[in-house]
Structure 1
Amino acid sequence: MSQLNPFFVMLPLVVAVCSACSGSSSSTGSSASTSSSSSVASTDECTGTEALVINVASDDGSHDGHSPANTIDGSLDGESRWSSQGDGKTLLLDLGTEATIAEVKTAWFNADERTSFYDIEASADNNTWSTLVANGQSQGSEEFATDSFDRLDARYVRIIGHGNSENLWNSLLEVEVHGCGGLDAPTAQPSGPLAIAELDPAKPPSDNFDLSRWYVSVPIDDDGNGRADNIKENDLNDGYELPDYFFTGSDGGMVFRVYPSGFKTSTNTSYTRVELREMLRAGNTRIDTQGVNGNNWVFGSAPASDRAAAGGVDGNMRATLAVNRVSTTGEAYQIGRVIVGQIHANDDEPIRLYYRKLPDNNKGSLYFAHEINGGDDIGYELLGSSANSASNPADGIALDETFGYEIDVKGNALTVFIYRDGKPTVSKTVDMSGSGYDEGGQYMYFKAGAYNQNNSGDDNDYTQVTFYALEHSHN
């Protein structure tokens, strides 16, 4: 498993067409189509103009906690912005594939009080760049302004900030790239938050939850094999509890508590966990736990032979939960973080969903890592920042606050939804077509619970997560 770098985060999002865009005016900056090489080539095949999918937005990690994700979330709220200080700070946009672009629309923070200065460039290969807008200037309002240029083909667009008329801060509320072609917008629709059934605090977890298709890992070694014990489906679903690790809480929730030290599931694992592992075989031990078989599932993009052999095709997991406690001691990069949901493949993880709250913050962030098969992590922020020094996320989630998540896979489209009472649904979609999980032999299973991401804290510095509802399904 690769370690997520919390300072360089790339975030995909479908760009929503903003109702305020229709009245946009041209920027005062000079526009140019000065392609000096074949990296950006003009085209006459595209005549329409629509908002393109921006697959990835990133910077060099030096933002102040207002991350690149905020520029492609469809919001013009002042807190939803990218802010980075310095002349030449760059916001990089990756469309995921080459497309024909004709316009870039930008909305700048405090544009009614100051003028922001910027350039816009484009590239087909993220190596050779051509200038689209030189010496651009923001308009006198925080609504979208449009920079137009001759149509050209490119995959990457970058906005280079040169500060503003008051200081060297580059603060961009929102950006849209318009043209035609590019990635199709993902079609995943939220199922909505998972309702909480009546839970009895006097009963073990399996009497409140259907655990017939899960096992639980706990960081003790009663069987003496040197690894964490795995309580298999039938035993787990027959009233299993382990005081101080896996038990029913006073409100009936299913509690996962994990300390920084203890036995681990394998020699390749650095952290302890109390975590459920999906087992589609439901106690049928004639089916192996590993492999493309009746115990595991595959993506709909997998070869036909794998889809026929697997226990399911594509997958959806929904949960309602609260994080009760996170670590407050240890190494700075480990403090306050826990994984509450995963998809695990043979060796790597298509998704690890993190909650993180730093000691000086009263709310926590949500983000996830997508690990390329055999490669590195790519991080995606949902609420707040993953950074070690992140500021308090205004729209974050407090300890003991109930929220819901949904992880949905259809083919190579991975979508995460976050649900909270009285607040809009937050979602991110990743195109996994280049991630290597559609190869033959790759199998999947869901995981849910508390996978502590701190092994350097004090021995009694535990992490605790309580689940109130959990379901998983496949085609």
Structure 2
Amino acid sequence: MNQWPRSFTMTALMSAILAGCGGSSSSSDELSGGSAISSETSVPQFTCSSYDELSLLSAVDDGSFYESYSPDKAIDGKGTSDSHWSSEGAGKELIIDLGTTSYINMVSILWYQDSDMQREYAFEIMVSEDGKTWQSAPVTKPSSVNQDEYVDYDIDTAKARYVKVIGQENNVDNFISITEIKVKGCGESFSLDPMLPPSSNFDLSRWYLGVPIDLDNNGKSDSISEETLNNGYQLENTFYTNEDDGGMVFRVNVDAPKTSTNTSYARTELREMLRQGDTSIKTQGVNKNNWVFSSAPESDRNNAGGIDGVLEATLAVNHVTTTGDDYQKGRVIIGQIHANDDEPVRLYYRKLPNNSKGSIYFAHESRNSTNDAWHELIGSKSDSASNPSDGIALNEKFSYQIKVKGNALTVTISRVGKNDVSKTIDMSNSGYDNGGQYMYFKAGVYNQNNSGNANDYVQATFYSLEQSHN
């Protein structure tokens, strides 16, 4: 990966345009899992055939903008000095969301200028695919500029959805002030395609899908193999591509077939399968289909398909149940680590019927205890929780990361423009580092309501999904 200069200085009339090449519970719940977003921003060797101005979805800062000069004014298209973003202090950030991942290779900022003075700004530009892991962008400064004009700055082609401008100083005062930002590139061809099935937009080669139907009438929900899943599988109103934005939709009703008689709730959920369709490798066991902790015995580490793991996803929860018993309303599991019979982590989203925003929390199930340990990240898990002030609304995008290294489990929730919320717990006394314990990720929707109306349902749309192991 290229090493990019972290900052540069430009004269008073400069502006920046981003230009790019566009472009639980049951021990028998064995066949479900998930995948997540990459933690690295790649910089491929890529050349745009044309540079088109990209649409900008939103702009945010840390909320400390000066007076009425809010971030949205930097992308309102006016380009006038009375409509600009401004914030005081070194290190202030303006984050632009393009809405979709694009290949970008040029930046321009129309800097705010007083009529009687010329400001020189020091700043840096960074880019990110997920709004969490950032890479500094190499910028080529033009040889000359004219006052009050956009100035294009070439950068090494970068695949990104988010662009961050970090102001350091100017020669007049302590403000970073931007009149307008534009982005050019070839981004549209690199976004999720609403016309394609999920397996064409996402790498699902290492996943098995559990769906809440029972076509073989065996009394259990059906499982879709890796091969079938990756051959364009979709199921109407259950697992499909969102026709508006190309996201991967998971949906399940309250009254739907379940994975076994020991399972209380229905699900539409992926189960990690490291064997990638090689049926000579068994689904269960310490083998090349599953992974173990790096704190596991050496023999298990040698036999497993991976050691430790990271599951990352970007998603929006679209609907939760509103009927049924109070302790079950509005809750859904969106990501897990499953072991032989227990679950090191279950990640919940919950929004109560009278609240406008939802909470995020997780459960840790120890093999050496009959009670789960609960950890709240955003809001409360209470059945009578008040509306969480910093909660997550339905249809609001956010990202999660579930990470295991040795006996340390870390769950992190990320949102653009907000600080990450994270919790790490010690699993040394939980028994998962014992011989014979194997792990797999799960992701999708696991409805935690079996008392509601039959047609009540949970639904989530995933926009990014990846997993990784050592």
Please tell me the TM-score bracket, short chain as reference.
0.5 to 0.7
Q: Matched residues in 2 for 1:323 and 1:407: separation? A: 18
- Show the counterpart of 2:208: 215
- For these two proteins, the number of residue pairs brought into alignment is 289
Q: Contact 2:332 / 2:348 at 8 angstroms: preserved in 1?
A: yes
* DSSP 3-state at the match of 2:420: strand
Q: Are 1:429 and 2:420 matched, yes or no?
A: no
2:385 counterpart (369, 383, 390):
390
- Show the counterpart of 1:338: 332
Q: Are 1:439 and 2:434 matched, yes or no?
A: yes
Q: TM-score with structure 1 length normalisation?
A: 0.59
> Which string of whole-angstrom CA distances, capped at 9 and with x for unpartnered residues, describes residues 403-447 of structure 1?
000010000000011100110011000100000100000000000
Q: Contact 1:256 / 1:465 at 8 angstroms: preserved in 2?
A: yes
Q: Contact 1:328 / 1:336 at 8 angstroms: preserved in 2?
A: yes
Please show how residues 235-384 of structure 1 align to structure 2 within 5 Å: 235-250=228-243, 251-373=245-367, 375=369, 376-384=371-379
Q: Contact 1:2 / 1:371 at 8 angstroms: preserved in 2?
A: no
Deviation of the 1:373 alpha carbon: 1.3
- Show the counterpart of 1:472: 467
Partner AA of 2:350 in structure 1: R
Q: Contact 1:2 / 1:377 at 8 angstroms: preserved in 2?
A: no
Deviation of the 1:225 alpha carbon: 2.0
Change (3 A) 1:468 1:2: closer
> Which string of whole-angstrom CA distances, capped at 9 and with x for unpartnered residues, describes residues 351-407 of structure 1?
000000001100000000000015321000000000000000000000000000001
Q: Which runs of 4+ in 1 moved over 3 A?
A: 190-197
Deviation of the 1:192 alpha carbon: 3.8
- Show the counterpart of 1:415: 410
Q: Contact 1:338 / 1:452 at 8 angstroms: preserved in 2?
A: yes
- Show the counterpart of 1:59: none
> Which string of whole-angstrom CA distances, capped at 9 and with x for unpartnered residues, describes residues 157-184 of structure 1?
xxxxxxxxxxxxxxxxxxxxxxxxxxxx
> Which string of whole-angstrom CA distances, capped at 9 and with x for unpartnered residues, describes residues 44-98 of structure 1?
xxxxxxxxxxxxxxxxxxxxxxxxxxxxxxxxxxxxxxxxxxxxxxxxxxxxxxx
Q: Matched residues in 2 for 1:231 and 1:225: separation? A: 15
Change (3 A) 1:405 1:207: same
Deviation of the 1:261 alpha carbon: 1.2
Change (3 A) 1:289 1:414: same
Q: Matched residues in 1 for 2:283 and 2:424: separation? A: 29
Deviation of the 1:210 alpha carbon: 0.6
> Which string of whole-angstrom CA distances, capped at 9 and with x for unpartnered residues, describes residues 272-314 of structure 1?
0000000000000000000000000000110000000000000
Partner AA of 1:217 in structure 2: G
- Show the counterpart of 1:130: none
Q: Are 1:450 and 2:455 matched, yes or no?
A: no
Partner AA of 1:434 in structure 2: N
* DSSP 3-state at the match of 1:216: strand
Please show how residues 77-156 of structure 1 align to structure 2 within 5 Å: none
Percent pairwise identity: 67
* DSSP 3-state at the match of 1:306: helix
Q: Contact 1:192 / 1:419 at 8 angstroms: preserved in 2?
A: no
Q: Matched residues in 1 for 2:341 and 2:376: separation? A: 23
Q: Contact 1:275 / 1:449 at 8 angstroms: preserved in 2?
A: yes
Change (3 A) 1:261 1:192: farther
Q: Contact 2:309 / 2:403 at 8 angstroms: preserved in 1?
A: yes
